[in-house]
């Protein structure tokens, strides 16, 4: 599983960080998935290897503009490129309303169907052949969700000894069993794939959370998850000064939570634009890193635009730096 940050700034863009957007794929394979779509997401996509033509679904965490205002441009650009494949948008219903109003009042029509799916529905679940997706309600100024992405249809290994013991000879049936399909033999015997194959590893699981002032809400979801991408808008000192109203998390708060639930990999993002990325800038993004490291012993990353991450089958996470 690969993911690339298209934006890592909270509220407004800076010269080096766009507002929220994250591209997710199966290690270079198509299709891919987008989580949030701040203004300029289509511009960021011009600099990475993800094309809107292969985009399968967009997951919106919540309705705020820094997570949604890139939708009209991205959707109409896909249309200008001639997209015909349907596109799923998993989102609070209000986003559907504003997209429809924008399309109707800008002489825009799309060359492909949009399927709006309510992210706030009880028991939300989405899947395609590659991924199963659930979500978790967070605590923010508006309804907001974390999306939990779990691999589906993992590769199976044949239990060759068992097949031979049962007198089942190598042939096309073996291939079907390995693909997960049950097979009926000429003599009428039915072979169940799950009896003759096994899955040699754990399904990878990644959580991408929206804005949230209560990381503890993710405790259950983090069990069995390998990476959490979570906002850390401020250091604790700034969070205390700003007060509770914006309903964001501090680096300390997220780090403490991740430590409590023994999360192996934590990627922080959605930094207030006050934090500068240049080493000499003040206040500095490194303050957020230093604060988080004090409270978390797992593998910690601070996201930057265009950095990509790969969650390997062995569940290790590595970062591929942007050029």
- Which span (105-113, 123-131, 181-189, 197-205) binds its own copies, by CB under 8 A? 105-113
Q: Which of 308, 211, 301, 214 is nearest to 264 (CA)?
A: 301
Min. distance of Cβ 233 from its own copies in angstroms?
A: 13
- Which span (82-90, 98-106, 111-119, 252-260) binds its own copies, by CB under 8 A? 98-106
Min. distance of Cβ 113 from its own copies in angstroms?
A: 19
| Long-range interactions of 108-112: CB distance < 8 A, separation 24+ | 108/72, 108/76, 108/79, 109/79, 110/75, 110/76, 110/78, 110/79, 111/79, 111/82, 111/83, 111/84, 112/78, 112/79, 112/83, 112/84, 112/85, 112/86, 112/87
Q: Which of 30, 49, 97, 201 is close enough to bind its own copies by CB under 8 A?
A: 97
Give me the residue label for tokens 């939990």.
Answer: 148
Using rule CB under 8 A, residue 278 touches its own copies? no
Told to judge if 214 belongs to the known catalytic residues of this protein, a careful annotator would answer: no
Region 31-90 residues binding its own copies, contact defined as CB under 8 A: 39-40, 42-43, 46-47, 63-65, 68-70, 72-73, 76-77, 80-81
State residue 209 phi and psi, 5-degree precision. -95, 145
Burial label for 165, CB within 10 Å (0-12, 13-18, 19+), is: exposed
Of the pair 46, 321, the CB lying nearest its own copies is at 46
Using rule CB under 8 A, residue 109 touches its own copies? no
**Known binder of ligand: residue 130?**
no
The number of residues that bind its own copies (CB under 8 A) is 38
Region 128-167 residues binding its own copies, contact defined as CB under 8 A: 141-142
DSSP string over 51-77 = -GGGEEEEE-----HHHHTTHHHHHHH
Using rule CB under 8 A, residue 108 touches its own copies? yes
DSSP string over 193-259 = HHHHEE--SPPPEEEEE-S-S-GGGGHHHHTT-SEEEEE--B-HHHHHHH-STT---BHHHHHHHHH
Min. distance of Cβ 21 from its own copies in angstroms?
A: 13
Q: Which of 1, 55, 95, 206 is close enough to bind its own copies by CB under 8 A?
A: 95
Q: Which of 2, 66, 88, 213 is catalytic?
A: 66
Tokens of 66: 């820094």
Q: Evaluate whether 208 touches 149 at the Cβ level (below 8 Å).
A: yes
Using rule CB under 8 A, residue 210 touches its own copies? no
Using rule CB under 8 A, residue 308 touches its own copies? no
Query: What is the DSSP code (8-state) at residue 155?
Result: P
What is the x/- site pattern for its own copies, positions 231-270, by CB under 8 A?
----------------------------------------
Question: CA Rg, the chain, in Å?
Answer: 22
**Known binder of ligand: residue 270?**
yes
3-state secondary structure of 115: strand
Write out the catalytic residue numbers.
Answer: 66
Q: Which residues of this protein are in contact with its own copies, per CB under 8 A?
A: 11-15, 18-19, 39-40, 42-43, 46-47, 63-65, 68-70, 72-73, 76-77, 80-81, 94-95, 97-98, 101-102, 104-108, 141-142
């Amino acid at each position: 599983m690969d993911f690339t940050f298209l934006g890592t700034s909270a509220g407004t863009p800076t010269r080096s960080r766009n507002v929220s957007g994250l591209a997710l794929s199966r290690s270079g394979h198509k299709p891919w998935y987008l989580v949030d779509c701040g203004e300029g997401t289509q511009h960021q996509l011009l600099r990475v290897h993800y094309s809107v033509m292969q985009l399968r679904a967009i997951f919106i965490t919540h309705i705020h503009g820094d997570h949604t205002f890139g939708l009209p441009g991205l959707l109409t650009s896909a249309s200008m490129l001639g997209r015909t494949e349907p596109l799923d948008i998993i989102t609070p219903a209000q986003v559907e309303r504003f997209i429809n109003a924008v399309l109707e009042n800008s002489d825009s029509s799309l060359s492909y169907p949009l399927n709006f799916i309510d992210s706030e529905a009880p028991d939300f679940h989405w899947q395609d052949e590659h991924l199963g997706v659930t979500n978790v309600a967070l605590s923010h100024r508006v309804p907001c969700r974390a999306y939990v992405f779990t691999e589906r249809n993992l590769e199976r290994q044949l239990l060759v000894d068992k097949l031979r013991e049962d007198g089942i000879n190598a042939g096309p049936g073996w291939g079907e069993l390995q693909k997960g399909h049950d097979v009926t033999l000429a003599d009428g015997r039915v072979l169940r794939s799950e009896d003759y194959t096994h899955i040699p590893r754990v399904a990878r699981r990644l959580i991408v959370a929206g804005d949230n002032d209560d990381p503890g809400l993710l405790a259950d979801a983090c069990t069995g998850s390998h990476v959490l991408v979570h906002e850390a808008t401020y250091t604790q000192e700034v969070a205390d000064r700003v007060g509770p109203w914006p309903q964001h998390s501090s680096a300390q708060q997220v780090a403490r939570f991740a430590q409590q639930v023994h999360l192996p990999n934590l990627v922080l993002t959605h930094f207030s634009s006050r934090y500068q990325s240049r080493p000499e800038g003040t206040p500095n993004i490194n303050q957020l890193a230093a604060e988080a490291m004090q409270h978390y012993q797992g593998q910690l990353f601070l996201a930057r635009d265009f950095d990509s991450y790969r969650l390997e089958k062995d569940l290790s996470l590595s970062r591929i730096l942007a050029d």
